[in-house]
Structure 1
Amino acid sequence: LCRAGVLMALAVVACVFGASTAAQLPDVLFTVFPSPVLTDRHQDRINAILDTWGKGQRVVVVSSDADEQPNQGAPVWHIPDVTGKIGEEGMRAYLRKAMEESWDWLYRVDDCALVLLPNLLKLLEQHDHTRPVLVGSKIALPGTDKVYFTGGPGWAISRPAVQLFLDNWCPPSNAWFRDEVFDIQMHTCMVKHLGVQAESPRDEVDGVGAKFNTYSPVRSFKGPYDHWFENYKKAAKETIVNGRSCCARYPVAFHYVEAGEIRAFHRIFTEPHKWKAATAREKLDTLGSDVSPYSTHVTSEDDPVLDYLSEIRVFGIYSR
C-alpha cells in the first residue's frame, strides 16, 4: 500500500501540528470490519467512510466474504471468521497480514463508526508508538478479570504491541484468559500476560467524557445506554454518563451510526459554522431519519441535543 495524501484533513490538522507534513503525522493503517448488526448495509457504510473520514487515508476492509471486492480503491483482506466470533488462527492471520504493511498504529474499527481524524491524530501524537501501547474504550466481562477494548468505535495499537503478541501469544495452556471473542482474548493476553500499556482516555478538562464512544453522540447525550454496556463499563471500573459530559469535547470516535449518520455527523463536526447558523428545521433535515437501531432519533423537541452537537470540537477546525 502507498500512503495517500491526507487531503483536506491534513490541511485541517496542519494548524495543530504546525508545519507538519504527512510524513510527520502519526502513520495509521485503518482496518474496517463488518458489523454483525444489519450486515446488508455493509457496502453503504464503507462508501460513507471512504467519502468522509476515510478519504485520503489508508483504509483496508477486512472481510470473511471471499466475493467482496475493493471499494473506491480500498483493498480487501479476506480473513476467515472476522464477523462475530473469530478463532485464534483468524485473529493472528489478521495481525500477521497487517504486519506486512508499514505503519506506526493499527486502527481496528467497525463499519458503522465515525472517526474524527484530527482528534485521533492529536491523541496518538501524545503516545510513543515505539512502545507496546493499546488505546481505546475499556470494558470488562462482569465477574471476570478479562479486560479488553471494544472494537466498535475502534482501538489503536502500536506496532511493537502487535509484534509482542505475535511473538509471545498466550498458548492454550494459559486457559485462564481464553475466550471465543478475539478482542477479549487478544487484549487480555496483552494486558494481563504481556504487560502492554493500555489506556482508555477521557476528556482533558472534566475527566468524564469518553474519547471512544460506543454509541452515537445523540444516544450518548439522550441515553439510556444498554444494560450490557453499563455492566461491562462498571466491571472495568469506568464511569459513564449521559448529558453534556457523555463524550469528550474532542472525541475520537462514535459507534452504531449508519451511513447517513456518518455523513451527517461528519458534515456537522467539520463545518461547525454552517451547523450553528442553520435553522432547527435544517438541522433535523441534516440528521435525517436513517439511524442505527442502537441509535436514537432526534425530534423537534430535542433542542438541547442540537445545541450539544455544536459543542463537539475537531482540532484545527473550530474553537471558541
Structure 2
Amino acid sequence: MGVQRLEHVIRTVHKDMNPDFAFFVNDHTFVIPDNLCKFLKDRDSSIDIYAGHPLKGKQETVFNSGAAGYVLSRSTMEKLIDEWDKPNSKCSASGASQWIQNNPGLLTAKCFAEILNIRVLDTRDKDLSHVFHAFGLVRTVTGSVDQWYLDKHDALDTVLGKDTVRHHKPQAGASCCSPGTVSFHYVEGAEAFAFWEILNTVHSNPSITDDEIKSLMNEIWPRNRESLGFYAHGLPAPNSYGWWKGLVEVVRKIATVADPQKSC
C-alpha cells in the first residue's frame, strides 16, 4: 500500500503542519537542513514546486528520485490533495499495480506531468553540479553508482532542455556536488553521525588542513558492511589520491557554505 501511505503522509503534513514547503525523503537519506533552507529561501509557496533530482527512462514520465528527496510547495500539495478527492481520479491509488505500490512516487510524478501540469526543475547549481544525490558521499564522489541510475539521465535533455556540456548526468570527483548540497542517500546511522561530525568540525574550523580532514574521516568513518549498510561504499584506500582529493574538496565546500547546526 505504498501509494496509500504516501497519500496519508502528504495529507497529514498539509493538514497538521500546513508548511510553506515539505521535503519528502527516505528513512536513510542524509539531509543538510541549512542548505535546504537556502534552497527554499527565495521561493514562493503559492507557486507550484516539485524539485529534487530528476530521472527519466526513455518510455516513462520524468520523476524526482525519492531517494534523493523532493520538495513540494503548499500550492502543489493542495492541488494534489484536491485531485485525490475527485471521484475516479487518475492520480489515486485505485487500480495501482504492485510495481507502483512499491514505487508510489512514480504515480505522483505521472499525476504532476499529465494531470496537474506541474513540471520538474533542473535543480543543479550554476556550475551544473547536483544538489540532491541518490547515493552516499563516497559513491557519489567516486562515480561508483548503478548503471540504471546513469541511464535514467539519458532522456533529460528532452524534458529539462539541451545540456551540451554534461547532458544532466552526475559527475565524478569534486564537480559531483554543489556546495549547496541538500541530501545524500543510502546513509545509515553510523555514517550519518560521522558525516555530521565532520561537517561540524570543518565548518567551525575553516583553517583545518586537507590532511587533517582525511585523518578525521579515517578515524571516525564506519568501515564494516554492518555499519555502512548494503548499498554504501567505504572510504577509498589511503593511496587513492585522486578520490581523496575529491572527497576532501566536497566536504570542505559543503561545510564552508552550510552551518550543520542551523535550520529554518
Q: Does 2:123 correspond to 1:189?
A: no
Q: Deviations over 1:201-227 (max 9, x none)?
A: 1123x12x1000111121111122201
Equivalences for residues 1-320 of structure 1 within 5 A: 81=1, 86-87=2-3, 89-102=4-17, 103-140=19-56, 142-169=57-84, 171-172=89-90, 180=100, 181-204=103-126, 206-207=127-128, 209-237=129-157, 238-272=168-202, 273=205, 276-277=208-209, 278=212, 280-289=214-223, 290-298=227-235, 299-302=237-240, 303-308=244-249, 309-313=251-255, 315=257, 317=259
Seq. identity, %: 21
Task: Give unmatched runs, 5+ long, in structure 2.
Answer: 158-167
The code of the aligned residue for 2:197 comes to R
CA–CA distance in 2 between the matches of 1:154 and 1:282? 28
CA–CA distance in 1 between the matches of 2:180 and 2:49? 21
Q: Which residue of 2 aligns with 1:69?
A: none
CA–CA distance in 2 between the matches of 1:315 and 1:284? 23
CA–CA distance in 1 between the matches of 2:24 and 2:46? 19
Q: Is the 8 A contact 1:138 1:148 kept in 2?
A: yes
Q: Quote the offset at 1:306 in angstroms.
A: 4.4
CA–CA distance in 1 between the matches of 2:206 and 2:13? 39
Report which of the two has the higher share of helix.
2
SS at match of 1:212: coil
SS at match of 1:300: coil
Q: Is the 8 A contact 1:139 1:149 kept in 2?
A: yes
CA–CA distance in 2 between the matches of 1:113 and 1:314? 21
CA–CA distance in 2 between the matches of 1:162 and 1:153? 19
The code of the aligned residue for 2:51 comes to V
- Judging changes above 3 Å, is the alpha-carbon distance between structure 1 residues 259 and 148 closer, same or farther for their aligned structure 2 residues? same
Q: Which residue of 2 aligns with 1:9?
A: none
CA–CA distance in 2 between the matches of 1:190 and 1:144? 17
Task: Give unmatched runs, 5+ long, in structure 1.
Answer: 1-80
Q: How many residues are treated as equivalent by the alignment?
A: 229
Q: Which residue of 2 aligns with 1:6?
A: none
Using the size of structure 1 for normalisation, the TM-score is 0.64
> Aligned-residue CA RMSD in angstroms?
2.7
